[in-house]
Amino acid sequence: MRVAVLLKDRCQPRKCNQECIKFCPRVRAGVPETIFMGQEGKPVISEELCIGCGICINKCPFDAIRIIGLPEELDQDLTHQYGENAFRLFRLPIPRTGIATGILGPNGIGKTTALRILSGEERPNLGDYDDPPGWDKVLDNYAGTETGRYLKRVADGDLRSATKPQYVDQLPKVVKGKVRDLLESVDERGELSEWVPRLNLDNALRRDMSELSGGELQRVAIAATLMKDADVYFFDEPSSYLDIHERLRIARVIKELSEKKQVLVIEHDLALLDFLCENVHLMYGTEGAYGVVVPAKAVRHAINIYLDGFLKEENIRFRDSAIEFTEHPPRNTAAMTELLDFPAMKKDFGPFKLEVGAGTIHHAEVVGILGPNATGKTTFVKMLAGVLKPDEGKLDAEIKVSYKPQYIKTDFEGTLQELIYTETPQLYSDSFLKAEVTRPLALDALKDKKVSRLSGGELQRVAVAMCLARDAQLYLLDEPSAYLDSNQRMECAKTIRRVMEKSGRSALIVDHDVYFIDMLADSLMIFGGDPGKHGIAQGPYDLRQGMNRFLKDVDVTFRRDQETHRPRVNKPGSRLDREQRAAGEYYYAVRGEA
């Protein structure tokens, strides 16, 4: 089965010589119907006539064509297609009562499309985009299946759904007014008084939506979803903007809900997904071209398959190599040369005060920074970067710093290629950076895209790359995993790690994803205190000591999966949880069942 996809946002016929048509061997052999200019002024590719040679892919100057070979069996599983040579989705995930079901896969392969179909916002067309079938034909197609039984409830209007949207930072643009007014308007279950304290929203109730931080917007969106009286609940990336304390709190709340309702969760934080869900649907595909939903598997098995990158049942390899985790031995810092000794520092903003203990950063060291939101992590990074000056304590060392802020904003009007040539042309000219940064972060595929049109994840990859490209001794990256899918997070972590090891430079990384920090950090700084009022920073500690301190405060223990060595959250009160707490080993057990 051959799938031909034209990425219309990349295709620019006025700026090319129609190489896809001119060099097509079938067209040159006298079969012009193979690929021709359609009514929209863009190429149309016949999947029946295409021989899959790939010449059009290589000749297209804008990387706008995808020709993909898929198993013939999938032809019977086509759920939805948006048009000729357009994105298509195969199969659907199905939520089940009594457990939380997860969806795990890259961005741009149809997870949100699946939610729209399951919530009744869109009717599946089974690939017939010119003459979409009615519900009768759709239900006949799925007769006798679990998917069919679910869709019948959707078709009959017998299924109420509630969806927590993905991009909560866009909420203030569509929802105006006070938080209390919003929550009261959606409280169909009379549970406002329960969810406000449980989701720590007391201080947000009297404020306007436009005044909320990203974390507050996320918690408001989750509360609004929970208070709706529905049969099935969809949570699209509920961990964004939340620290690990908040993520685990939200996970417990969603698990409670799943005991009596159907719950489906899209999540890229693998530790959270592992803790929250019993079953997971993997998804694979090509961004913007197609997506395939894999039947649900037990969460441990699903995540391990995802990390390995090979789906045995369908004989599909969706990643070139497996993602590996290692049990970090403590580094001998005595043998490492010091880059920066920072003194004890204080910063007083009036309502908020930050105290930082003295510490040392070494050459070629990656220091992770963990802690609750609003405890001064970004303030500390800004003091090291010279953006803010401490009220007490002075940084004597003169070192060159490259800084990627938490919130990325740009008003650049040109393409990404133009931005890079203006700001960091070395990403294209330096062979080391091209191999270690530009390619792994997949920037070439974005080069002709307007910067203003980049998604949050695309903009994040660009910001990380530009930060790493600058000539500096210390690289400060504030939440580099935000907006990235699981695969992109792992690639980003490996990229940062490789650059520091090979260049002998050092980095400080603020993030809330435990997998991400575990993959790249040598040591940890731990932030605590009273969020929004008083922050206290300590360290750096070696990774194991730092994780033990941090996880003890979070009140959760981790173990290592025996197969992949990835960190896994222990079930509270389980034998391993009790044993590790007694031994003071919150980070991972030296031995134990996975």
Alpha-carbon distance of 105 to 92, in angstroms, equals 13
Alpha-carbon distance of 180 to 177, in angstroms, equals 9
Quick check: 366 pLDDT over 50?
yes
Which pLDDT score, from 0 to 100, does residue 240 have? 87
**pLDDT of 159-216, one tens digit each?**
999 999 988 888 898 889 999 999 999 999 899 999 999 998 988 898 999 988 888 9
**pLDDT of 450-487, one tens digit each?**
999 898 899 999 999 999 999 999 999 999 998 899 88
Which pLDDT score, from 0 to 100, does residue 592 have? 44
Quickly state the pLDDT bin for 593 (edges 50, 70, 90). Answer: very low
Predicted model pTM: 0.86
Percent of the chain at pLDDT > 70 equals: 97
Which pLDDT score, from 0 to 100, does residue 483 have? 87
Quick check: 227 pLDDT over 60?
yes
**pLDDT of 382-398, one tens digit each?**
888 888 999 999 887 67
CATH 3.40.50.300 location in the chain: 75-160+230-311, 336-542
**pLDDT of 65-104, one tens digit each?**
999 988 887 888 999 999 999 999 999 999 998 999 999 9
**pLDDT of 20-73, one tens digit each?**
999 999 999 999 999 999 999 999 999 999 999 999 999 999 999 999 988 887
Closest C-alpha among 117, 149, 98 to residue 262: 98
Alpha-carbon distance of 488 to 477, in angstroms, equals 16
Burial label for 401, CB within 10 Å (0-12, 13-18, 19+), is middle
**pLDDT of 478-528, one tens digit each?**
999 988 998 899 999 999 999 999 999 999 999 999 889 988 999 999 999
Quickly state the pLDDT bin for 329 (edges 50, 70, 90). Answer: low
Quickly state the pLDDT bin for 334 (edges 50, 70, 90). Answer: low
Question: Does residue 4 contact residue 69 with C-beta atoms inside 8 Å?
Answer: no
308 Cα distance to chain centroid: 18
Burial 268-289 (b: 16+ CB within 10 A, else e): bbbbbbbbbbebbbbbbbbbbb
Which pLDDT score, from 0 to 100, does residue 566 have? 86
Which pLDDT score, from 0 to 100, does residue 280 have? 97
Q: In this structure, which topology does domain 75-160+230-311 adopt according to CATH?
A: Rossmann fold (3.40.50)
Q: In this structure, which topology does domain 2-69 adopt according to CATH?
A: Alpha-Beta Plaits (3.30.70)
Question: Three-state DSSP class for 359?
Answer: strand
Quickly state the pLDDT bin for 335 (edges 50, 70, 90). Answer: low
Which pLDDT score, from 0 to 100, does residue 517 have? 92
Amino acid (one-letter) located at 112:
T
How does DSSP classify residue 202? G
221 Cα distance to chain centroid: 18
**Which has more pLDDT, 428 or 336?**
428
Query: What CATH number labels 336-542?
Result: 3.40.50.300
User: What's the whole-number mean pLDDT along residues 432-459?
Assistant: 92
Quickly state the pLDDT bin for 260 (edges 50, 70, 90). Answer: very high
Quickly state the pLDDT bin for 332 (edges 50, 70, 90). Answer: low
CATH 3.30.70.20 location in the chain: 2-69
Strand partners, 523: 367, 542
Strand pairing class (262-266; 88-90) = unpaired
Could you tell me the two tokens for 354?
Answer: 């930050």
User: What's the whole-number mean pLDDT along residues 291-308?
Assistant: 95
